[in-house]
Amino acid sequence: MFDKVFLIDSGAKRGAFQMWLDEQLALHLETLLPILGKNVALLRFYAWQPFCISIGYHQSDAVFNRHLLSQDGIDLVRRPTGGRAVFHAEELTYSLVMHTDAPNAVCYTQISLALQIGLAELGIEASLQRQQPNFRMRYAQAESVPCFTASARDELEVKGKKIIGSAQRRYGQTLLQHGSILLSPKHLEMTRYLNTTPDIQARIAKDLREKTISASELLGRAVSYHEAVQAFRTGFERAWHLPLVPLSEAELLQLLGQSNTVAVH
């Protein structure tokens, strides 16, 4: 699939930075390829500090109570990808940027298989969702605000409940896919920040409880960020049959600066 996959562990940072870096890597991968190699991918793991709600590229931010978010120290950012809102709290986020001619659906499945092995490394048996819901109809409903209330084809579920939510965007021949791996049920607290009636909040909360599950709930213990990083690193290495090459975030930012200079001049 690739000659080399670089692994960047960015750790916990503000959501605005994490989304900026994902987008910059996607926008400038073409100019990074002469430096890193032609057939490479960038796999990044990160978390969110402070906790943050991200909304899809086309989603309105009016559905959230900014005053309450600010009061609780919760950030609100817009993702470069589509989809619906995610409350990023006590999770592991992965991001993949790759140059590929393969169809989006094929890439999605290949990534899901690696994530499935990563879950197995934690002791969680997950299966791929094989049905494609009608998202146009789903998005017309009030309950559609959170991403995790519906599973797309080839997303991972455990006992019929969603544990990882992902989104994609194409930039020419570059594909960005990133997603949230639920380590705890903290994401359920999103409904507190919705700008809607108590009745709709309650319906969305019920929907989230019934349709999502986290690693800690399944294992009966806490799963740390570092444990999850190691498990999913192994998942990608086993699925793609190659060792991941560590690359520090500082090195990556330096290379990104060089590539931008090359692009400008």
pLDDT of residue 53: 98
What does the block give as tokens for 254? 């330096």
Residue 261 has pLDDT above 70, yes or no: no
pLDDT of residue 148: 59
Give the tens place of pLDDT for each residue, 36-89.
Answer: 999 999 999 999 999 999 999 999 999 999 999 999 999 999 999 999 899 999
Could you report the per-residue pLDDT of 192-236, keeping only the tens digit for each? 999 999 999 999 999 999 999 999 999 999 999 999 999 999 999
Q: What is the pLDDT of residue 180?
A: 98
The CATH fold assigned to 4-264 is BirA Bifunctional Protein; domain 2 (3.30.930)
Q: Is there a contact between 43 and 6 (Cβ–Cβ < 8 Å)?
A: yes
Decide if 178 contacts 96 (C-beta within 8 A).
yes
pLDDT reported for residue 134: 45
Report the pLDDT value the prediction gives residue 262, as an integer from 0 to 100: 42
In this prediction, residue 135 carries a pLDDT of 45
Contacts of 214 (CB under 8 A, 6+ apart): 163, 182, 183, 184, 185, 187
Q: Give the integer Cα–Cα distance in Å for 212 and 163.
A: 6
Average pLDDT over the chain, rounded to whole?
Answer: 92
Global pTM exceeds 0.95: no
Q: Is 147 a catalytic residue?
A: yes
Confidence of residue 265 (pLDDT cuts 50, 70, 90): very low
Please, are residues 49 and 89 in contact by the beta-carbon 8 Å criterion? no
- CB count in 10 Å sphere of residue 68: 13
- Between CA 25 and CA 97 the distance in angstroms is 7
Three-class SS of residue 191? helix
Domain residue spans of the chain: 4-264
- Which pLDDT score is estimated for 41? 98
What strands, in cross-sheet order, belong to the sheet with 75-78?
A: 75-78, 52-55, 86-88
Q: By mean pLDDT, which of 23-32, 118-127, 140-149, 248-257 is the weakest?
A: 140-149
Q: Which of 36, 43, 69, 147 is catalytic?
A: 147
pLDDT of residue 141: 57
Coil vs helix vs strand at 116? helix
Task: Convert the pLDDT of each residue in 121-180 to its tens digit.
Answer: 999 999 998 765 544 554 445 555 665 565 677 899 999 999 999 999 999 999 999 999
121 to 43, 70, 173: CA distances (angstroms): 18, 37, 32
